[in-house]
Chain A
Amino acid sequence: MRWLDIPDIRRLAVYEANGGYQALRKALFDMKPEEIINEVKSSNLRGRGGAAFPTGTKWSFIPKESKKPVYLCCNADESEPGTFANRFQLECDPHQILEGIVIACRAVGSHIAYIYFRGEFTVQTRIVETAIAEARAKGYIGKNIMGSGFDLEIYTHRGAGAYICGEESGLLESLEGKRGYPRNRPPFPAIQGAFGCPTVVNNVETLSNIPWIIKKGAAWYRSIGPEKSPGPKLFCLSGHVNKPGLYELPMGFPLHDLIHDVGGGISDGRKLKAVIPGGASFPPFNAEEAEKVLMDFDSVRAAGSLMGTAGVMVMHDDTCMVDVLRTVAHFFHHESCGQCTPCREGCGWIEKLLVDLEAGRGKQQDLDLLLNIADNMEGNTICVLADSLSMPTRGFIKKFRSEFEDHVRLARCPFRDRDGRLAPPPHSAYEAEPA
């Protein structure tokens, strides 16, 4: 459906030849803004950026007769570890995203849209800028789009490489030229977002679903996958599988099939040990749980994790869970913006404890201390980055506690010592990083 396979679909002519911008025509001429919102609402489309909030509902929060301008921000700050869906979309099929943006802006009454790119997305930014120029030349963007009288400008903005700017209010701060510190809510962006004006922030993949919903209707969309969490979904399959990659599958696809059929099974002929289903921020499934779970927002939640960005990371039985968690902690320690005390201090503390554990310097009481630090961080900060480390910390220790205890008992890592296969940590957590 996303046409990532069609050669040259990134070019406007090819995109049009495949039916591109037909949905926009329909949205501009055959539908009122209210009808677009209702269609998206009844499609049950839920945000693909990780929080799974119903998109139509988010749009409907925008004040109808806003005296201030309304902005739409397309969140292309894809930084969640193990996630690479937006990147391919931006590279291969930018017009689908642009079409989604124009339709969304029409729905919420926005005449200025921003695409906020992850700092590392230099090539992707260029590709999208080329696409914008093409679309503008053909009258799909700019003044009086397709003769409908609707105006829209799309601006691109590249971040400076901070994970936290993918958080919607951190993104807005960064877009305004400030430090990417997430904001206190309320006020929510729908009331006071970019530059103090009502703002919708939607993920790239979310927006790319819009043309399809408009073209084929909400009922069609709902028919794909579970009713409450429908639609096609891009799964980023990585780790110890034979065929890692980006796969588009219906929501509710069994995780077992994703790993064993689509992904070609576990690499090196080994056994499955753990799967993180939604990027590094969430608790892992052990092999037994992974066999049963269906990949949609509600099923994964019911099974005790979250689907997040659908960055599915598969680990076989020769993987040290302490080391995996240490890596996760290293990431969040590095990416915590440092605004809120519990996250700023807690992420570093957790990493330091895990570095010691992995190096065989850990103590038995460190396990409970880790759990307690995780408890003290969770839910006590402005944004959910603290939760993004506390959830996997609790999950890994709960599901693989014996492995953590082995590290203490043996005073070494049972995986690392056997053949020295594991690479040393990226750098010692004890050394202050250069500013």
Chain B
Amino acid sequence: MPKLTIDGKEIEVADGLNLIQAADKAGIEIPHYCYHPGLSIPGNCRMCLVEVEKAPKLQIACNTRVAEGMVVQTKSKRTTTAQKAVLEFLLINHPIDCPICDQAGECKLQDYYMDYDSQPSRFQLGKKNKKGKAIDIGSDVLLDQERCILCARCTRFFDEVTKTSELAIFGRGDHNEIDHWPDRPINNKYAGNAIDICPVGALTEKDFRFRMRVWYLHSTPSVCGGCERGCSIDIHHQRGRIYRYKPRHNPDVNSYWMCDEGRHQFIALQTENRLTAPLYQAKDRLLAEGWSEAMRRAAAKIMEVGGQSGANAIGAVIGAQATNEEAYALKRLLKTTIGSDRIAALSWSPPGASGDDELLIRANKNPNTRGLQALGISGEGIDSLAGAVAAGELKMLMVLRADLVRALGEQEFLKRFGALDYLLVLDTDANETGQMANQLWPIAAYPEIDGSFTNFKGRVQRIHPAFPPPGQALPAVEAIARLGHALDGAERHRSAEAIFTEMAAEEPAFHGMSLAALGPNGRDLSA
């Protein structure tokens, strides 16, 4: 653990860190463009030049490892002169088109200009180099070569992370340009990351472009629900609408990256199909009702079926889209309150979905398959439920976040579950299963709730609500608690934290854990 002094602050840091990382630990920002902790170090932007005692020249902080007794100045005259100079150089051929640039507000040229330069341009020639604008370079990426500062983060990302090497620098000197190789545009499932790591407005996203100024967006930490990897993300949203997902650094799950499928997963969450009120089947169509009526209706049905055919005539299917807390709450309601043990998990991925790859993407498109397993809710249970229906033992089914009809196919569903008396579906959308339900309850999508997912490696990660669910939709745990109350008049936990605490006590896989202690990067299952 070498000790060094940065701006007069003595700090002790881990061996092998570079000066940008070490300064960060001391709360000192060293500005940089080309350096990215997930990529190799090219040292080309020269923004992080700092004064290191005994070195005759300024040193680039990104490529300088900490050493015992090192004395570093990040705000000395020489350092600030160099920082100003680099910014001036970067800007002389930059179009300075911030008013029409989508990066404005999250642009490192803007930020550093305000922090480290703030001087009028001395480049009076009005003869900036002209390069390509708004070039479609494939995937979801648009390129503006004039805004590019040639830090080569994008080319390094495609060289080192995806290993697809679609982009390269062409030309020489100040005519250097990023571009793709002839007839080989970007063709990989991680292209959006290049946009994320572009420090300026050179790479922008076709989908997000011109939709929202970034300073209006709110950010909520969450987990991508696109597959069982569960990449850490930030949800960028405004007034109940999601505008984009950004990967959030998590060394234990996704490093700095996420796939493009996951990046666009939110689009499917905000369609016209979202349910906004509880519905019930009246003859041939679904009608809306209030929650209290819906609860009374469902509770009465449960009492009726239970009274006539016994508690085991009531079962539940929980989709692997459900959170740990939702699955636990429904399992507990079924087992303890109702007294049935007919419960099964559905972990289904649509046909044609992408398979496992070497980086992040998993073939299983459910974020919580492993969490359901940990709660002892098995996927094989579906067959035994169907068997019970055939034997006339199972009359009523509660379905949480599981589109059984789509997963099994309509014919197969009708063959296996058509004999059911009563179907209660809790879901975000009016899906095919919901269309067949006797009751269809609107619940919150995962960006709208508190809770946790367990990824395929057993990493339990927390999700946070970005905004409330639409209309009368409720978090599923709330709906389950209300149903329980309608059944026995007892109060139940309605917050994810409290349910998690109970789950940690009851379920061995979650022993010793708490939702709050998951932290930003999550924790591994206890068992």
- Contact surface of A with B, Cβ cutoff 8 Å: 162, 179, 181, 184, 333-342, 344-349, 352-353, 356, 369, 376, 379-382, 430, 432-433, 435
Contacts and interface: CB of A to CB of B under 8 A. Distances in A.
B504 interface: no
Contacts of B41: 184
A346 to B, nearest CB: 6
B239 interface: no
Contacts of B85: 342, 376, 380
Interface string B348-362: 000000000000000
A402 to B, nearest CB: 23
The 3 A-B pairs with the shortest beta carbon distances in the complex, nearest first, are A376-B85, A345-B89, A338-B176
A341 B46 contact: yes
A154 B36 CA distance: 39
B46 A345 contact: no
Contact of B86 (A342, A356, A379): A342
Contacts of A335: 172-173
B300 interface: no
A432 B175 contact: yes
Contact of A376 (B43, B81, B123, B176): B81
B205 interface: no
Interface residues of B, number: 40
B49 interface: yes
A341 B63 CA distance: 16
B386 to A, nearest CB: 60
B125 A356 contact: yes
A347 B57 contact: no
A347 B173 contact: yes
Contacts of B44: 181, 339-341, 382
A381 B93 contact: no
A342 B92 CA distance: 11
Contacts of A346: 89
A344 B86 contact: no
A338 B171 contact: yes
Given A345-B89, A349-B92, A379 B174 contact: no
Contacts of A369: 122
B426 interface: no
Nearest to B93: A345
B122 A337 contact: no
A29 B438 CA distance: 98
Given A333-B174, A337-B172, A433-B175, A380 B92 contact: no
Contacts of A340: 43-46
B54 interface: no
B125 A345 contact: no
29 contacts: A184-B41, A184-B42, A338-B169, A338-B172, A339-B150, A340-B44, A340-B46, A341-B45, A341-B86, A341-B149, A342-B85, A344-B176, A345-B89, A345-B90, A345-B93, A349-B92, A369-B122, A376-B82, A376-B85, A379-B58, A380-B49, A380-B58, A380-B82, A380-B85, A381-B46, A382-B43, A432-B129, A432-B131, A435-B175
Residue of A339, A348, A356 contacting most chain B CB atoms (<10 Å): A339
B285 interface: no
Given A184-B43, A430-B127, 15 more contacts: A184-B60, A336-B173, A337-B173, A338-B173, A338-B176, A341-B149, A342-B46, A342-B89, A352-B125, A369-B122, A376-B81, A380-B86, A381-B46, A382-B44, A433-B175
B127 A352 contact: yes
A348 B174 contact: yes
B313 interface: no
A348 B129 contact: yes
Nearest to B124: A363
A184 B65 CA distance: 13
Contacts of B63: 184
A341 B89 contact: yes
Contacts of B172: 162, 334-338
Contact of A349 (B45, B123, B131, B149): B123
B47 interface: yes
B181 interface: no
A336 B174 contact: yes
A348 B150 CA distance: 15
B144 interface: no
Contacts of A381: 46
Contacts of B86: 341-342, 380
B177 interface: yes
Interface string B19-59: 00000000000000000000001111111010000000110
Contacts of B163: none
Interface in B69-88: 81-82, 85-86, 88
A180 B192 CA distance: 28
Given A341-B90, A341-B149, A379 B173 contact: no
A394 to B, nearest CB: 15
B130 interface: yes
B130 to A, nearest CB: 6
Interface string B85-124: 1101110110000000000000000000000000000110
B208 interface: no
B82 A338 contact: no
B170 interface: yes
A433 B170 CA distance: 13
